[in-house]
Amino acid sequence: MADPLFLDLRVVPNAGRNQLAGVHGAGFKVKVRAPAVDGKANAALIDFLAEALGLRASRFRLVSGEKSRTKRVAISDLGEAEKAEILRRMKGESTA
């Protein structure tokens, strides 16, 4: 099995909308509408990433940052082409 893809994220809860907001430092910024209360923002983050990237939520795992805005997420069962495509989408690049 291939190694997972790790995404270092800066998450902004209580945003006006869910959004992949591009590069932030060495990682990516993601905005979620859910509040940072009782794990709601974490659950919303995983659901939004799965939807935005066209993957099942079960392939995502929060590795670190459960109670922080700085998080690390692992995505499992990806081929090299899928990893490259995800990184392009996270950066906000078109897939043309």
Report yes or no on 93 lying in a domain. no
Evaluate whether residue 94 is within a structural domain. Answer: no
Give the C-alpha separation, 36 to 23, whole Å.
22
In a domain, 92, yes or no: no
Domain that holds residue 9: 5-86
Instruction: Answer whether 30's CB lies under 8 Å from 49's CB.
Output: yes
Tokens of 84: 């490259």
Determine, yes or no, domain membership for 10.
Answer: yes
Kindly report the pTM of this predicted structure: 0.92
Q: How many domains does the chain have?
A: 1
pLDDT confidence of residue 1: 58
Q: What is the 3-state secondary structure (H, E, C) of the chain?
A: CCCCEEEEEEEECCCCCCEEEEEECCEEEEECCCCCCCCHHHHHHHHHHHHHHCCCHHHEEEEECCCCCEEEEEECCCCHHHHHHHHHHHHCCCCC
Q: Write out the chain's pLDDT in tens, 96 residues.
A: 579 999 999 999 999 999 999 999 999 999 999 999 999 999 999 999 999 999 999 999 999 999 999 999 999 999 999 999 999 999 987 655
Residue 57 lies in a domain: yes
Q: What is the CATH number of the domain that holds 23?
A: 3.30.1200.10
pLDDT for 2 equals 77
